[in-house]
Amino acid sequence: MDFKKTKAESTTISRDLRELENRTGNVYETVMILAKRSNQIASEMKEELSQKLQEFASYTDNLEEVFENREQIEISKYYERLPKPTLIAYEEFVNNQIYHRNPAKENRNKEL
């Protein structure tokens, strides 16, 4: 997933609960799907940011010298301006880009 190309809102807006319920039939199930996908996105973003900031890491133990790296600050600001993982997950859900399944429902349907 490329976070830079997402068209998700960068601010939080109110959502219609009935719209969330339509696809799964249960608001709580939808919220759990969004929460799990949001956690995945957040961990991917954190890993990517850590890799980029690792390039600027200083391995000296000198407490007196504090370096202000302009590039490092710009990278951090860029990631702060990106939409939050929950908003990206919601946008993916609305656009049918998230695959989800509920094994409990599948087992219940097989038994019937």
Using CA atoms of 18, 41, 3, 23 in order, give the dihedral in degrees to the nearest 10. Answer: -20
- pLDDT at residue number 35: 95
Please state at what angle helix 17-24 crosses helix 27-54, rounded to 10 degrees.
Answer: 100
Q: Three-class SS of residue 73?
A: helix
- Locate 18 and state its tokens: 């009935």
Phi–psi pair at 66, nearest 5 degrees:
-120, 120
- pLDDT tens across the length of the chain (112 residues): 566 677 777 777 887 888 888 888 888 999 999 999 999 999 999 999 889 888 877 666 555 555 667 888 888 888 888 888 988 998 888 888 888 877 777 777 776 6
CA distance 80 to 89: 17
